């Protein structure tokens, strides 16, 4: 479980922008398009 959490944090940290990690995590839970872009999927 820790490995998956660490990988997810690495993806969030690598995203461009000045938004904090906490805010990026929160935004990814609220917005599925943002989550898809963060994970490299292109849904839209």
Q: Where are the domains of the chain?
A: 2-39
pLDDT of residue 35: 83
pLDDT (tens, 9 = 90+) of the chain, 44 residues, equals 899 889 888 888 888 889 899 998 899 889 988 888 877 776 65
Q: How far is it, in rounded angstroms, from Cα 2 to Cα 34?
A: 23
Gyration radius (Cα) of the chain, Å: 10
The DSSP code for 15 is S
pLDDT of residue 44: 58
pLDDT of residue 2: 92
pTM of structure: 0.69
């Amino acid at each position: 479980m820790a490995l998956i959490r660490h990988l997810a944090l690495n993806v969030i940290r690598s995203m461009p922008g000045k938004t904090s990690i906490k805010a990026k995590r929160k935004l990814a839970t609220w917005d599925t398009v943002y989550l898809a872009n963060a994970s490299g999927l292109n849904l839209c």
